[in-house]
Amino acid sequence: MSRIGKEPVPIPDGVDVTLDGRTLTVRGPRATLTQEIHPDVVIEIGDGQVQVRRNDDEREHRALHGLFRSLIANMVVGVTQGYRRELEIVGVGYRAAPRGSGLTLALGFSHPVEVDAPEGITFEVPTPTRIAVNGADKRLVGQVAADIRAIRKPEPYKGKGIRYAGEQVRRKAGKAAG
């Protein structure tokens, strides 16, 4: 039995979980999230919790068991608390500015880079060198943060670029003075 999959997912007050065919819907104070459930996974809702079960012990079904339990738990956390991913911008003249629902990034290119927020995602710019990506969908928050980081990854010689908050960039020595 999967150690993750056998744990029930508690449903907090104010969260509504419904299963319509193979579509699981989680409604909460922050958002409404949906997830298609694999046919080999059985979802049971009751007693203030969601239980995930599998039909047999095939390798793929064991993997799906834990996966869908984690996805459902992430949905419940997302609609109640939400997710946040913070980015830091390092470099002289590199900065971010809010623009409507998106961002304008000055990253040393000949032009500013415009980033639009997908539905369900909001950006915060507490300082010109910090960006916070907020949303209810954990996967989407992580993907948007990764897309922003990919615009100008941290380079190994001076460390300039966009990095996750707290990320350690491995630095190279560079050319030896001769």
- For the chain, 178 residues long, give each residue's pLDDT as a single digit of tens: 568 888 999 999 999 999 999 999 999 999 999 999 999 899 999 889 999 998 888 889 888 999 999 999 999 999 999 999 999 999 999 999 999 999 999 999 999 999 999 999 999 999 999 999 999 999 999 999 999 999 999 999 998 999 999 989 999 988 876 5
Same domain as 88, residue 157: yes
Q: What is the pLDDT of residue 80?
A: 95
Model pLDDT, residue 156: 92
13 with 69, same domain: the answer is: yes
Q: Give every strand in the sheet of 49-54, ordered side by side.
A: 9-10, 49-54, 41-46
Give SS3 for 44. Answer: strand
Whether residue 173 lies inside any domain: the answer is no
CB 93 within 8 A of CB 105: no
Residue 144 lies in a domain: yes
- Residue 70 sits in which domain range? 9-80
Q: State residue 97's pLDDT score.
A: 96
Q: What is the pLDDT of residue 99?
A: 93
Q: Report the pLDDT value the prediction gives residue 55, as an integer from 0 to 100.
A: 86
Instruction: Output b/e per residue, 79-88; b: 16+ Cβ within 10 A.
Output: bbebbebebb
- pTM score of the predicted model: 0.90
Beta bridge partners of 88: 130, 163
Residues in Cβ contact with 13 at an 8 Å cutoff, skipping those fewer than 6 apart: none
Q: Check whether residue 100 and residue 61 sit in a common domain.
A: no
In a domain, 34, yes or no: yes
> What is the spatial distance between Cα 34 and Cα 120, in angstroms, rounded to a whole number?
13
Burial 135-168 (b: 16+ CB within 10 A, else e): bbbbebbeebbeebbeebebeeeeebbbbeeeee
Same domain, 13 and 64: yes
Into how many domains does the chain fold? 2
User: Where among 80, 95, 124 does a domain terminate?
Assistant: 80
In the sheet that holds 113-115, the strands lie side by side as 95-99, 102-106, 113-115
